[in-house]
Amino acid sequence: MEESRREPMVTVESARGRSRPAPTMVVTFDNGHGGGSADTVLLLHGIGVSSRYFHRLALELAKGRRVIAVDLPGFGRAPKPGRPLTVEDFAGVVASFLDAEDIGPVVVVGHSMGAQIATRLARSRTDLVTAVVLLGPVMPPADATPVRAAARLLIDTLRESPHSNALVFTDYLRCGPRWYLAVLPSMLAYRVEDDLPALEVPVTVARGERDPIARAGWARAIASLAPAGRLLEVPRAPHVVMLSHPRAIAREIRRLRPPGA
């Protein structure tokens, strides 16, 4: 598909579905040349943050596709639900949103904890997903403790740009420690390696070369678990790879075309 040079229209709305356990904020980037719902890219953020750090990637992708980025319940502009949600719950929220809006199947892109949610969505709702992109997926079992996860995150802050750190830290402040700590146990417990072998769609695992959270051996191992898995390493990039290198990630996502395209 030839890319459009038009600036995408950006809309922000609150989406509420009767079958969803919590409301979600939705940001849509659309230049009017998308090929329908099957040509849509869905972006899922990680723990503590929001859709804001996808903005550069979304603008790149929106040159040829419709892009939807969500603020998951309790993060960004989305209200906090009345109970802690698990990775499985978040995947259910996303599935209910796609069903309610009659969107899909989509290419689902998840970063960090969002990679877990993307994997679970693809496993539980095969009808909604044509391809999966896991950016900086968390996390190897050896690091899946609060102390080790925090240490890895601290190392990454020294490798991120000031802009990236500012986005992440302000989102953390908005999220607050109570909700972060309520969600953290599920993130640490969920194992993407249990679901990846069952995925029949293309799976791309992408990491930054300098990512201390999604380390090289881990990324290589989980990419090999997916029947149609592929590994991409972006030179000199840290954990928030789609913010530091949006064009490289966008190029990879553009390779994943919907069936029949």
What is the per-residue pLDDT across 4-15, written as a single tens digit (0 to 9) for each?
A: 455 555 444 555
**205, part of any domain:** yes
**216, part of any domain:** yes
**238, part of any domain:** yes
Output phi, psi for 78, to 5 deg.
Answer: -85, 135
Tokens of 168: 């992440």
Which of 157, 160, 109, 111 has the alpha carbon at shortest distance from 138?
111
**245, part of any domain:** yes
**125, part of any domain:** yes
CA distance 221 to 207: 13
The predicted structure's pLDDT at residue 168: 97
What is the per-residue pLDDT across 218-240, written as a single tens digit (0 to 9) for each?
A: 999 999 999 999 999 999 999 99
**75, part of any domain:** yes
Render 7-36 in DSSP notation, one character per residue. Answer: PPEEEEEEE--TT-SS-EEEEEEE-S---S
Model confidence band, residue 1 (pLDDT cutoffs 50, 70, 90): very low
The predicted structure's pLDDT at residue 12: 47
Task: Could you list the beta-strand ranges (E) of the chain.
Answer: 9-15, 24-30, 40-44, 66-71, 106-111, 129-135, 203-208, 229-234
The predicted structure's pLDDT at residue 29: 73
When divided into structural domains, the chain yields a total of: 1
Which range marks the domain in which residue 21 is found?
9-254
**4, part of any domain:** no
Model confidence band, residue 28 (pLDDT cutoffs 50, 70, 90): confident
Which of 41, 56, 164 has the alpha carbon at shortest distance from 109?
41
Which of 237, 210, 233, 211 has the alpha carbon at shortest distance from 220?
233
The predicted structure's pLDDT at residue 2: 42
pLDDT, averaged across the chain = 89
**106, part of any domain:** yes
CATH number, domain with residue 227? 3.40.50.1820
* Choice among 31-40, 169-178, 192-201 with the minimum mean pLDDT: 31-40
